Homo-oligomer: A and B are copies of this chain.
Amino acid sequence: MTRRSYPKGLAKREEILATALKVIAERGFGGATLRELAEASNLSITGLVHHFGTKEQLLTEVLRRRDEVDADAYEMDRLPETAAAMIERLATLVDRNAAVPGLVTLYSNLSADAAAPEHPSHEYFRERYEQSQDLGRDSLSHLQELGELPAGVDPGDLAQLMIAAVDGLQLLWQYDQSIDMTRGLRALGALLALANEGGRSADE
């Protein structure tokens, strides 16, 4: 894409993104208007727009930033060696998100809005989901080869289920923050473990 053009504006962009993230984290998604964000950056609205084009593009960049940080935490490049380990990685991710409710709300709202194909952030989410599905499928296939997962289930289907569960739990959690999102995930983990025992005895 035509991003990151001149090195001068880049520093300013990063500065704006950092304050935007802080504002959203502190004051919640409600404060994520161009006016509030501009004010927090000591800039006019047009100043912001000059750097990011639209509000949505700005917010997308905020999420993209979080993705980069999360990618390290999840250890994307290492396939998990056990089903339990995979679930725990997801649980860690989800727990980290729970510490920043404003970002969770931003994510839920933007991902719902951007479902419309014309939406400026549509491509971002489409790619993101595609990558997540690929990663999940690869991880689960790997586990299947290791005998950590029953052969009867399709890794692609299960990957979709997991991604959907993570997104859905974050939505549910916004309505009742007493919910521990990791419990739902670990319940799935328990099922995976039991299913593997069951499948194994059927194999032999």
- Footprint of B on A, CB under 8 Å? 28-30, 105, 108-109, 111-113, 115-116, 122, 125-126, 129-130, 150, 152-154, 157-158, 160-161, 163-169, 171-172, 174-176, 179, 183-188, 190-192, 194-202
Complex Cα spacing A139 to B130, Å: 33
The answer on a CB contact under 8 Å between B168 and A126 is no
Complex Cα spacing A161 to B175, Å: 15
Identify the closest chain B residue to A113 (Cβ): B109
Point out the residues of chain B lying under 8 angstroms from A152, CB to CB: 190, 194
Give min CB distance, A110 to chain B, whole Å: 9
How many identical chains are in the complex?
2
Complex Cα spacing A131 to B177, Å: 17
Residue in B174, B191, B200 whose CB lies within 8 Å of A191: B191
Q: A112-B109, A152-B190, A194-B152 are in contact. Are A184 and B157 (CB under 8 A)?
A: yes
Point out the residues of chain B lying under 8 angstroms from A194, CB to CB: 150, 152-153, 194-196, 198-199
Complex Cα spacing A79 to B190, Å: 24
Complex Cα spacing A101 to B112, Å: 13
Residue in B28, B165, B169, B191 whose CB lies within 8 Å of A195: B191
Identify the closest chain B residue to A164 (Cβ): B168
Q: A160-B183, A168-B168, A169-B160 are in contact. Are A105 and B109 (CB under 8 A)?
A: no
Point out the residues of chain B lying under 8 angstroms from A202, CB to CB: 197
A-B contact pairs, 15 of them (CB 8 A): A105-B116, A108-B112, A111-B112, A125-B175, A129-B172, A150-B194, A157-B187, A161-B188, A164-B167, A164-B172, A190-B195, A191-B191, A191-B192, A194-B195, A195-B195
